[in-house]
Amino acid sequence: MPIRFAHHPGLVAYLTVGDPDVATTRAIAVAAIDAGADVLELGVPFSDPLADGPVIERASHRAVANGTTLNHVLALASDLRAARPQTGLVIFSYLNPILRYGLERFTNDAKAAGVDGVLATDLTIEEAEGHYLNAMLAANLAPIFLVAPTSTDDRLRRIAAVSQGFVYAISRVGITGTRQTLASDARSLVERLRRFTQLPIVLGFGVSNAAHVAALGEFADAAAIGSAIVGLIEKTAPKEAPAAVAQFIEGLRPVPAAPTTR
Amino acid sequence: METLTPTRLGRFGDYGGRYVPETLMAALEELEAAYEQAKADPIFRAELDALLRDYAGRPTPLYFAQRLSERLGGAKIYLKREDLLHTGAHKINNCLGQGLLAQRMGKQRIIAETGAGQHGVATATICALLGMECVVYMGEEDMRRQELNVYRMRLLGAEVRGVSSGSKTLKDAINEAMRDWVTNVRTTHYLLGSVLGAHPYPTMVRDFHRITGEEIRRQIVEKEGRLPSAVIACVGGGSNAMGAFFDFVRDPQVKLIGVEAGGRSTALGEHAARFSGGSPGVLQGTFSYVLQDEHGQVSLTHSVSAGLDYASVGPEHAAMHDSGRATYTSATDQQALDATVMLARTEGIVPALESAHAVAEAIRLAPTSLSEDIFVVNVSGRGDKDMGILSRELHLDGAAQEQVR
């Protein structure tokens, strides 16, 4: 199933798999999809999530502590693919769990599980070119990369050239986590990136409410919401978390969503 | 375990590279360009050389430890006295280099991580010297066990930020420093303290420390008319060892021996011996040996010495391990403590607990070595900072003191 956005702006929902446990993550994922998430990012918990702020770091540590591994993430992907065939599924991971699993074994198993794309947070384009990209393309998985306000035009061009599915633009310089307002960095980054790609541009890091989503909808194709959802899960009882997340996602689109033409 | 195709960018064999969030790439490229430019600039070199000589106290002596050598029998043991440097450890070499570089780059804010506190103290020192803002991240466990260095950093005007995640040690401090850098990258230089992290750090930090090995070569030839049989150094991230080893890499008759922290036992989580207990992986910007579980989660580590208590190791060491150019062994907490006592009582020199691991290896090897062998042990730091731990571990509070042998 290719990654596509049925709404404008589209919504990408990030979940740390295994927080609080894999069964709850599954229930939340289904609820998020039914509430209008176009793409799910399944976060692989890692012991040292150095690009993440405290909310996702805590979730990651809880999931590592309860034994959640990449195997569980792949099994969950397979389950979700069967339950909701239309939704884009992206594995969002630090590189080391993938390397440890074995790169080709991972890409083959991810494809078999129905995963559409992979984003490795600490994998730069320089290190991806070669073995990693070859493995991704051989398995027909979309390689997804981050671009940042500090990325030069040369880097944007190089990243755009090998990206598939979408390009994930970091709204501001910094780690993941919620912010009151969208940084002014965001629009200029998306405008620079637009010159190098026809792919949807998803804006994330610090996007946490309907006002952000509406604002970024003026220049980007979709919003990625991570810490706001993970933080909500953290403070909600597990059995109530699916409904709470669904309500939160519905609230991100205050007006009836227009069908997209993109 | 497979490796990614080497791109040759900052690679040592298969190891090294750049594994960072995209936000940092521009800063790494800027740093690399600034470093290449500075390296070729005689003014930078002269400025650094003058500070190393007049401020840090280079060259450091190469001292023949006659009583220790006689006690053990066998090889002549020389000590490279990096412990005599200003701030008490080799770390000042790299801090002066990167401090001057940050100044050239116009970055007024410096951040650093520290384990034992020696790198933090050296960073705080050069920030005072150069008039720059300084924030040091330190695991809370390390703040507790190396509290004297926390006070020194604060006295020097640095802000010490405690890190309470994970094992509250060096790895967690690096995570926090990286998060700060990602957030403040436009104004801040990350003064990384070892031959770790993304390119160009492992190469640059090694270059700022290679003066140690260059001095050893000159000094040992002066004293003995030949090169040593072995150079022995402790390896946490591996900066003092790379500094001591690098000038001898092309002299195959000189054995290079790195000593890791054997901790309490060989069980995962109880030591920091990456080469015997780890496997290749990516941690904190670089591809190297990592202590990790079967799912790629990084393990907790333990060592009596905070400076060796880290789950990965510099990528150039990983390459030298695989090629066989250097050998890596380990000393346990107890062996390091015993070595501290022996060096203190034979030579009147109290090494840092980190450096004591290298001393322990010399003590282990010497009795079966030949009298014509020459060992050079890099005493990378002094033990003043460890008095709290030594007092507890060796019962120096009076009553049991006689039991210490």
pLDDT computed for residue A176 by the predictor: 77
Task: State mean pLDDT over A15-27.
Answer: 98
pLDDT computed for residue B373 by the predictor: 98
Instruction: Give B357's pLDDT tier (boundaries 50, 70, 90).
Output: very high
Mean pLDDT of chain B: 94
Going through B333-393 in order, the beta strands assigned E by DSSP cover: 374-379
CB A145 within 8 A of CB A168: yes
Q: Which of A60, A72, A99, A106 to mutate to test the interface with B (most CBs of B within 10 A)?
A: A99
Instruction: Give A256's pLDDT tier (boundaries 50, 70, 90).
Output: low
| Closest residue in B to A46 (Cα–Cα) | B297
**Which residue in A126, A132, A174 is closest to B182 by CB distance?**
A174
Beta carbons of A159 and B282 less than 8 Å apart: no
ipTM of the complex: 0.94
Q: Which of A223, A233, A262, A260 is nearest to A37 (CA)?
A: A223
β B188-190/B109-114 pair status: parallel
pLDDT computed for residue A178 by the predictor: 66
Cross-strand pairs, B113: B137
Q: For the packed helices A22-34 and A241-251, what is the interaxial angle rounded to 10 degrees?
A: 30
Beta carbons of B295 and A97 less than 8 Å apart: yes
Of B80, B91, B107, B255, catalytic? B91
**B182 vs A contacts (CB less than 8 Å):** 51, 173-175
Q: Which of B4, B22, B288 to mutate to test the interface with A (most CBs of A within 10 A)?
A: B22
Please determine, for residue B405, whether its predicted confidence score (pLDDT) is greater than 80.
no
Please determine, for residue B326, whether its predicted confidence score (pLDDT) is greater than 80.
yes
Where are chain A's structural domains? 10-250
| Radius of gyration, alpha carbons of chain B | 20
Beta carbons of B292 and A159 less than 8 Å apart: no
* B292 in reach of chain A (CB within 8 A): yes
pLDDT computed for residue A1 by the predictor: 57
**Which residue in A127, A147, A149 is closest to B4 by CB distance?**
A127
Please determine, for residue A261, whether its predicted confidence score (pLDDT) is greater than 60.
no
Cα–Cα distance between B244 and B377 in angstroms, integer? 9
To the nearest whole Å, the CA of B360 is away from the closest chain A CA by 32
β B76-81/B374-379 pair status: parallel
Beta carbons of B23 and A130 less than 8 Å apart: no
Cα–Cα distance between B373 and B247 in angstroms, integer? 19
pLDDT computed for residue A185 by the predictor: 84
Higher pLDDT pick, A173 / B298:
B298
Cα–Cα distance between A175 and B178 in angstroms, integer? 9
To the nearest whole Å, the CA of B204 is away from the closest chain A CA by 20
Q: Which of B295, B299, B300, B301 to mutate to test the interface with A (most CBs of A within 10 A)?
A: B295
What digits encode the pLDDT tens for the residues A145-193?
999 999 999 999 999 999 999 999 998 877 777 676 666 789 999 999 9
Beta carbons of B21 and A101 less than 8 Å apart: no
Percent of chain B with pLDDT over 70: 96
- A249-254 contact pairs (CB < 8 A, 24+): A249/A11, A249/A13, A249/A32, A249/A35, A249/A36, A249/A37, A249/A225, A250/A35, A250/A36, A251/A210, A252/A11, A252/A36, A252/A209, A252/A210, A252/A213, A252/A223, A252/A225, A253/A7, A253/A11, A253/A36, A253/A210, A253/A213, A254/A210, A254/A214
Give the predicted TM-score (pTM) of the model.
Answer: 0.94
* B282 in reach of chain A (CB within 8 A): yes
CB A125 within 8 A of CB A155: yes
Beta carbons of B21 and A129 less than 8 Å apart: no
Please determine, for residue B348, whether its predicted confidence score (pLDDT) is greater than 50.
yes
Kindly give, in sequence order, each residue whose CB lies less than 8 Å from that of residue B92, ignoring residues fewer than 6 positions away.
B56, B85, B86, B122, B125, B126
pLDDT computed for residue B167 by the predictor: 83
Cα–Cα distance between B209 and B243 in angstroms, integer? 4
What digits encode the pLDDT tens for the residues A96-123?
999 999 999 999 999 999 999 999 999 9
pLDDT computed for residue B404 by the predictor: 52
Give the distance from CA B289 to its chain's centroid: 16
What digits encode the pLDDT tens for the residues B67-95?
999 999 999 999 999 999 999 999 999 99
Cα–Cα distance between A212 and B244 in angstroms, integer? 54
Instruction: Give the N- to C-terminal CA distance of chain A in Å, as an integer.
Output: 17
pLDDT computed for residue A257 by the predictor: 52
Kindly give, in sequence order, each residue whose CB lies less than 8 Å from that of residue B36, ignoring residues fewer than 6 positions away.
none
Please determine, for residue B41, whether its predicted confidence score (pLDDT) is greater than 60.
yes
Instruction: Give B6's pLDDT tier (boundaries 50, 70, 90).
Output: very low
Beta carbons of A95 and B2 less than 8 Å apart: no
Q: How many CB pairs under 8 A join A and B?
A: 135
Of B32, B82, B113, B354, catalytic? B113
Cα–Cα distance between B178 and B187 in angstroms, integer? 14
To the nearest whole Å, the CA of B243 is away from the closest chain A CA by 27
Please determine, for residue A262, whether its predicted confidence score (pLDDT) is greater than 80.
no
Mean pLDDT of chain A: 94
- The answer as to CATH 3.40.50.1110 being correct for domain A10-250 is no
Please determine, for residue B401, whether its predicted confidence score (pLDDT) is greater than 80.
no
What digits encode the pLDDT tens for the residues B110-164?
999 999 899 999 999 999 999 999 999 999 999 998 999 999 999 999 999 999 9
**Which residue in A130, A146, A170 is closest to B7 by CB distance?**
A130
Q: Which of B287, B94, B122 is nearest to B197 (CA)?
A: B287
Beta carbons of A100 and B178 less than 8 Å apart: no
pLDDT computed for residue B252 by the predictor: 97
Question: CA triplet B221, B226, B229: central angle to 5 degrees?
Answer: 115
Instruction: Give B2's pLDDT tier (boundaries 50, 70, 90).
Output: very low
Please determine, for residue B186, whether its predicted confidence score (pLDDT) is greater than 90.
no
Beta carbons of A50 and B178 less than 8 Å apart: yes
Residue B70's CB: how many other CB atoms inside 10 A? 12
pLDDT computed for residue B374 by the predictor: 98
